[in-house]
Amino acid sequence: MSNETIHIDVHHITRVEGHGNIVVDIEKGKIEKVEWQVPEAPRFFEAMLIGRHYAEVAHITSRICGICSIGHTFASLKATENAFGIDISEQSRRLRDILLHAETLQSHILHVCYLVVPDLLKVNSVIPLIQTHREVVLLVTKLHRLANETCDIVGGRTTHPIRACVGGWTMIPTKKQLEELKKRHIEALSDLKKLAEVVKSLAGGLPKFERETEYVSLIDSKEYAFYDGQIKSSDVASPLPVHEYERVTNEYISPQSTAKWAKFNRDAYFVGALARYNNNHQQLTELSRQVAHSLGLNGTSSNPFMNSVAQVVETVFSTEKTIEHIDWLLNHELKEEKELKINVRAGRGIGAVEVPRGILFHDYTYDAKGICVKANCIIPTNQNLANIQKDMEKLVPEFKSRGKEELQFILEMLVRAYDPCISCSTHYLHVEFK
Amino acid sequence: MGDDGAGTYVVSLIINENLRAECVTLITPGYDLITYLQGREKAIIVDAAQFGGKPGEVRRIERSEIIPKKKSSGFSLHDSDIFKIIDYAEKLKIAPKDVSVYCIQQLRVEPGEELSPEVKTGAIRAANLITQEIIRESIIV
């Protein structure tokens, strides 16, 4: 085995969003090359925003992603509100949080159950599970539907929400709708506990692999952060304000990727559920903490494969928080917020939220008429690309003795564990011709 | 993307007709389609398509007639073949009893908000045909 020659060249890894390639060359036991390549074309969303009125910006950026459209909408709105000095009401803030949690629930359960679990059951996709695990698949479909319908009722549409606007909300859900949603979310907690048991029964199949890295997420003194907070690095004692995000992301171009890489205190960092969990686990809600313990997350973890387990924990957290927000809304008089006076001014604003795959930044500069003149969006997946590379560089020596087939399988599992949204990660490259 | 918006246009025509049907615009629903199919007696899907017809031509197609040519790198939550999703729903035993598909032959799929005139005429024809079908039953479109 130590003198084995292995060539792995996986083009278009399956069960991830977008296109990425894994290349490994081992010649007679010597590792010649380990590369995680991203060949996706840039999508130029930031260029599309130039010249657009502030009221259009969030609608455009919500189209960056079909799964994280809500997160993009809110990072965008927060950036615009930051530029114009606008504070939103507690009501709007809680409505936005409900939508963010619905997006998290939907994204995480689909990722874990449809993209990761097939690996643990040694099947190619979720399709065979219809025969072998039909009840589990139906449970996932039920939770998926709840998340989608929450987005419909609160945000006006499943994808690309239309009711959140700069400073407010165009149409508030009725109390009857909120009561029905609360009932369904309480029921969902039992369903999620059942799913957690299924994941627990399979979690032993996750590779035992550890690599110390830096974990970056939002942090908030009041709660496990999703909507608000400052930037927390596991390597730094004090968090940074969001407007200093560029000190954290430090994007640069890698020759093996059309998406930029990022680094902060090390040569790579991790964003996403595991980063949020590692930085904020002491702020989990009661039931989500119990689920974390039952799934083997007791304190921090440096196994990237545990990102999927952290996602399961977050589905429970998101459901508990949604119930809490609905309770607040039901106990307060709901007010229409569509007639807002927006004092447009020239300036720069930055918004950050946690989306399912990690911390997301939107940065806009407006002129005095509210026209966007500059934009920058830093996507969670592009922040993770360097960390995937570093994980592979450590994993290959440790697992190469298992032979080509198993090594390739574990590398693909590694990429899937990050739940990457690869085509969203290739944002605008600044190119200079000399 | 030009004529790619034909299905959306059809739904916009039907949605104001106060019919006993839920009309939704899904764009590229991916796996979300399954949550809209679940629990329905009948569903109608309408979309721009390439089937070698004249621009704007409308065909109501039975599923058995369709040979999907869409290539994908595998199961994707963002962008799944709708017929695979319907198959998946059937295997789960949650699919509508009847799913019909209206296709409108596209002419141009390129950046732009307008339909080409022929496709717009075809979309109006498709909306009329679907309206007649909806009047008989409660369905999603």
CA distance B37 to B91: 13
Per-residue pLDDT tens over the stretch B78-128: 556 778 788 888 888 898 888 888 999 999 887 777 899 999 999 999 999
Per-residue pLDDT tens over the stretch A351-387: 999 999 999 999 999 999 999 999 999 999 999 999 9
CA distance A366 to A85: 12
Per-residue pLDDT of chain A (434 residues; tens, 9 = 90+): 468 888 888 877 776 677 788 999 999 889 999 999 988 777 788 988 999 999 999 999 998 887 889 999 999 999 999 999 999 999 999 999 999 999 999 999 989 988 888 888 888 777 788 888 889 989 999 999 999 999 999 999 888 899 999 999 999 999 999 999 999 999 999 999 999 999 999 988 899 999 999 999 999 999 999 999 999 999 999 999 999 999 999 999 998 888 889 999 999 999 999 999 999 999 999 999 999 999 999 999 999 999 999 999 999 999 999 999 999 999 999 988 876 889 999 999 999 999 999 999 999 999 999 999 999 999 999 999 999 999 999 999 999 999 999 999 999 999 999 998 766 655 543 333 33
Sign of CA dihedral A290, A293, A295, A298: positive
CA distance A44 to A377: 10
Nearest to A214, CA basis, from A54, A383, A98: A383
Contacts of B100 (CB under 8 A, 6+ apart): B42, B43, B44, B45, B60, B61, B62, B133
Sign of CA dihedral A268, A351, A357, A212: positive
Beta bridge partners of A6: A26
- Flag whether residue B27 sits within 8 Å of chain A, measured between CB atoms: yes
Tokens 């003795």 belong to which residue?
A401
Tokens found for residue A90: 């507690």
Which residues in chain B are closer than 8 Å to A148, comparing Cβ atoms? 32, 35
Give the CA distances from residue A294 to residues A210, A272, A288, A290, in Å, rounded to whole numbers and listed in that order.
Answer: 20, 21, 10, 6
Contact, A40 vs A426, CB < 8 A? Answer: yes
**Contact between B74 and A130 using a beta-carbon 8 Å cutoff:** no
- The number of angstroms, rounded, from the C-alpha of A149 to the middle of its chain's C-alpha atoms is 20
Distance from CA of B85 to the nearest CA of A (A): 10
Which residues in chain A are closer than 8 Å to B78, comparing Cβ atoms? 17, 66-67
Contact, B141 vs B14, CB < 8 A? Answer: yes
Which of B8, B28, B77, B93 would best serve as a mutation to test chain A binding (most A beta carbons within 10 A)? B77
- Flag whether residue B138 sits within 8 Å of chain A, measured between CB atoms: no
Tokens 């996602």 belong to which residue?
A311
CA distance A165 to A149: 20
DSSP code at position A284: -
Per-residue pLDDT tens over the stretch A115-138: 888 888 888 777 788 888 889 989
Nearest to A238, CA basis, from A246, A230, A247: A230
**Contact between B38 and A145 using a beta-carbon 8 Å cutoff:** yes
Strands A230-233 and A269-270: unpaired
Which residues in chain B are closer than 8 Å to A134, comparing Cβ atoms? 92
Report phi then psi at A273, rounded to 5. Answer: -60, -45
Which residues in chain A are closer than 8 Å to B27, comparing Cβ atoms? 159
- Flag whether residue B135 sits within 8 Å of chain A, measured between CB atoms: no
Q: With a CB-CB cutoff of 8 Å, which residues 83-122 of chain B face chain A? A: 88, 91-92, 94
**Contact between B77 and A114 using a beta-carbon 8 Å cutoff:** yes
Whole-number pLDDT of residue A424: 61
CA distance A101 to A315: 8
- Flag whether residue B129 sits within 8 Å of chain A, measured between CB atoms: no
DSSP string, A149-169: HHIIIIISSSSS--SEETTEE
**Contact between B30 and A66 using a beta-carbon 8 Å cutoff:** yes
**Contact between A159 and B32 using a beta-carbon 8 Å cutoff:** yes
**Contact between A17 and B34 using a beta-carbon 8 Å cutoff:** no
Distance from CA of A66 to the nearest CA of B (A): 7
Which residues in chain B are closer than 8 Å to A156, comparing Cβ atoms? none
HSE-up of B38 (CA within 13 Å, CB side)? 21
Report phi then psi at A213, rounded to 5. Answer: -150, 180
Strands B98-105 and B42-49: parallel
